[in-house]
Structure 1
Amino acid sequence: MPAYTVREWDSLSHGDGTGQIPESFADRLAAIARVSAFAGREGGGVVERRRHSLRARGVVGILAAKDCSLEILPKIDVVPGENISRQNAETRKRLVHMLAVALELKIDLGAITDIEWQRETLLEILIRIFCDKLTEAVRKGMPRRYTEQDDDLPMLRGRLNITRQFTRHAINPSRLACRFDTLSEDIALNRIMKATIRHLFHISKSPANQQRLRELAFVYSEIADLPPAALRWDEVVIDRTNRQWRELFDMAKLLLSNRYQTTTGGPGEGTALLFEMNALFEEYVGRMISRALVGTDLSVSLQGGRLFCLSAEETGRGLFQTKPDIIIRRAGAVVHLIDTKWKRILSRIDHPKQGVSQSDVYQMMAYAQLYRAPRLTLLYPHHPGLGDEEAVHARHKITGHETILETASIDVANGERMLDRLRQFLMVGKPPEPYCSVEIPPLPTQDQD
């Protein structure tokens, strides 16, 4: 099956030439994108169908039709100068690492060879990781729980179901209506694993993955076969007896239900496994900062705060609630607010405002007013156009306040010593770097919707 790869915000031309995607394939993939949860208006949230090309947008992952697939990778600058196959492999590796951190999964990236990173798509790599983890888990034994059963037996087992006994067996008392508890593997968690195995088998195109899935399907042959819509996710209880299954349960949600969309029928028949990079970058950075500050006097809150910009004069009801991405406190007081932005900012040499959105500046000014934080940061992904190393690129003093608003970048392509680099950036006790005072326009005062 032909598989195509494109970077977010790049285009893939369609036609019959080398490196092009046939127009019929482009139509099928665009149809799948239009019914995705990330589609937005006219499917523009995933891919934009142009006259001569498909243009990827700010969503990454896989769109797969029956006879072709499109892999959308994030625009992460890795191994400059390498061939495109090697660059795509390193990008997949960094993306899987970001997913692992964001979803709190323990993934051994070294278990997958360099050739596999280059040859397989993101979907096949995630299927491989799921199969390896599940195989290791079932070797230690499938989880079991006591479940209540009813059966008609010649001897009493458990307790007598009186209602059933005197209705069904009133004439034939040789059978006893028993109700008893039995230790069973046919439970909600195992049914979810089986449904995930079955679903992945239908969408995987890798012979090696299909073999792994067949072996796992044999292990789960005695488990009830339920469609995804009938699975009881709410019945799964993760406790000390089965906590090692937490990661597999989360991966099943990822692959089967949570951010996974399946479409059937018509020209849009296919599957999609998609991630919004802005949300993934925010979650990844937030969790890495939480790790970096362990053992310090700073505490971290993700998507906390929730203070309101306005309150109704008549009722006092709060309006326009705020949710800063990352709040850092010392002894309960807010000392640093960080908002992550998955955008490519410019060097100050190229543009004095670095291409920072005015709406983002207004948002940070509102945070400064509400949270009284002395330090605000707009944090972007690093790229070579900003220089060789990640850094604080500009520091501004908000007019009329002592609050510092800075723009900074973090290199997600470079995972080495990430925690040390973040810790050094976040420790607010160090002397401040020089800043430049700029006039930032005030928030608009007229009524707006």
Structure 2
Amino acid sequence: MSKKNFIQVFEYQKLKYDENSDFKKNHFDAMVLFNEKNQNKYFTIVHKGVLFNSYVGVIQIGSLTIEILPKADKSDNPDKGTWQNALLNMLKVCKHIQVDNVSETNLNKKYNSILEVYFEMYLNEIESLVKKGLIKKYRRVQSNQNALKGKLVFSQNIQKNVVHKERFYCEHQVYDKDHLIHQILFRGLLVLEDLLNNHLKDKLNRLLFEFQDYQQLNINKSHFNKLNTDRKTRPYLKSIDIAKMLILNYSPNLNSGNDNMLTLLFDMNKLWEEYIYRILQKHKPEGYQISFQNKEDFWETKTIRPDIVITSNTGEIFVIDTKWKIVEANKPADDDLKQMFTYNLHWKAEKSMLLYPKVNQEDSKFGEYHYNDLKKKCKLGFVSVLNGSKVREGRILSQDIFDKLVVKN
């Protein structure tokens, strides 16, 4: 992927095809069609362009890659490499990058886009499987035979062998490598063949040669639902996870032209929520339990669901509601206060906190609700995603959040 065909933008930024030579009308048309097929949730169509919203990630259209980065920064010229690393770290912590051997060193490697991380991981995983030896599995096939093998398929035998009475249309088992798992991996490689044009192309071609004799299926979600995991197939799980992402997010010739499209988009609000939960879960102090997206009945069929509930061994309960946006206020908004009060009551929590990314804001103090002298409290909290130009350590971030909850004010 060359810099010429690579555009980086930030959430809530516009991209217009009459202002950027790499983003052309055909790319815009493909994005409009894709957005319409997905209830227009990923971005807003504006005059000669798109306005991105809370979804971050990557859109690849033909040879053009558009990377949408998160931003909790007031700078007019934020460092794109820094925020790309922040996004990569969040995806890894939230296990959207489903490979355990992605080390901090690998994540710090300079990638043009986060898609390249997935592409390289996929090729490395398959290369490892090929070196170990691809497994054989039993599968059922139907075909015409010169001798009866397995069971006779009467309807097909009558239809196909009216003239050739010496043949038998049978269903039988074969034990080979041309089974569904390898057909899925093969399809993932073929997707990359339409998208790759960089240093990984040679490795891709070598792997395609290994799979050239396997059946090409039009893989969809139902094929993944048929897979069963056992001792033999467990080493394939990582590559299958990435293949699923590649295949199900791929749209060939979306606008009836030559532009194949691959999208990998994440709602930043949900990603931030899960990121904070996983950081707290991993680095919680002794004596605390963390639960995620608890749900309780609220009214008739309606439920309420706070993002994170923290319970201590001494019986203290805290509720956190995460919000990925920059706010200037030092007090909670009225609607937020009412929502958090409901959480306080339903979960019997003494304290609740609205947690935002920090730019230069300061936490508010805990304010007390005036209701039946229950002494329920709520505050605004802000945490930094970055430490200078580097991603902040999870251990330090977790301690910062706990300090905000247990502080005696």
Higher deviation after alignment, 121-130 or 260-269: 260-269
Aligned equivalent of 1:57, options 17, 40, 53: 53
One-letter code aligned to 1:397: E
Paired AA for residue 105 in structure 1: V
Tell me if the contact between 1:151 and 1:178 (Cα under 8 Å) persists in the aligned partners.
Answer: yes
In 2 relative to 1, CA 174–261 (structure 1 residues): closer, same or farther, beyond 3 Å? closer
What residue in structure 1 maps to residue 347 of structure 2?
371
Counterpart Cα distance in 1 of 2:408 and 2:16? 47
Aligned to 2:20: 21
Q: Distance in 2 between matches of 1:411 and 1:299?
A: 23
Q: 2:407 aligns with which of 403, 408, 433?
A: 433
Which residue of the other structure, out of 279, 292, 296, is the alignment partner of 1:302? Answer: 292
Give the residue type in structure 2 aligned to 1:34. Answer: V
Would you say the 8 A contact 1:147–1:181 is kept in 2? yes
Deviation at 1:98, TM superposition (A): 1.5
**Residue matched to 1:124:** 116
Structure 1 match to 2:302:
320
For 1:49, give the aligned amino acid: V
Report Cα offsets for 1:318-341 as digits up to 9, x if no partner.
232112222233469781222211
Q: Which letter maps to 2:290?
A: V
Equivalent residues of 1:238, 1:245 under 8 A apart: no
Measured at CA, do residues 213 and 425 of structure 1 come closer, stay the same or move farther in structure 2, by a change above 3 Å?
same
**Using the alignment, how far apart are the partners of 1:207 and 1:166 within structure 2?**
50
Q: Which residue matches 1:72?
A: 68
Q: How does 1:252-401 map to 2 (within 5 A)?
A: 252-257=243-248, 264-265=254-255, 270-271=260-261, 272-293=263-284, 296-305=286-295, 307-310=296-299, 318-330=300-312, 335-346=317-328, 351-353=329-331, 356-383=332-359, 385-386=360-361, 393-400=364-371, 401=374
Structure 1 residue corresponding to 2:32, chosen from 23, 31, 34 = 34
CA contact (8 A) 1:150 1:179 kept: yes
Aligned-partner Cα distance in 2 for 1:409–1:378? 8
Q: Distance in 2 between matches of 1:223 and 1:405?
A: 60
SS of aligned partner of 1:352? coil
Specify the code of the residue in structure 1 equivalent to 2:321.
D
Distance 1:237 1:332, change over 3 A: farther
Could you say which residue in structure 2 is the equivalent of 1:46? 43
- In structure 1, stretches of 5+ residues that fail to align are 311-317, 436-449
Aligned Cα RMSD in Å?
3.9
Greater Cα offset, 164-173 or 277-286: 164-173
Q: Match of 1:228, SS?
A: coil
Could you tell me which residue of structure 2 aligns to residue 146 of structure 1?
Answer: 138
Give the share of equivalent positions with the same residue, in percent: 19
Where does structure 2 lack aligned partners over 5 or more consecutive residues?
Answer: none
Give the letter aligned to residue 32 of structure 2.
R
Cα offset for 1:26? 5.2
User: Structure 1 residues 192, 6: CA separation in 2 closer, same or farther (over 3 Å shift)?
Assistant: same
The answer (yes or no) to whether the contact 1:304–1:323 under 8 Å persists in 2 is: yes
Counting matched residue pairs gives 396
Q: 1:269 to 1:151 in 2, by over 3 A?
A: closer
Q: Give the structure 2 partner of residue 3 of structure 1.
A: 6
State TM-score, norm by structure 1.
0.74
**Is 1:246 paired with 2:237?**
yes
Q: After the TM superposition, which of the residue ranges 98-107 and 144-153 deviates more from structure 2?
A: 144-153
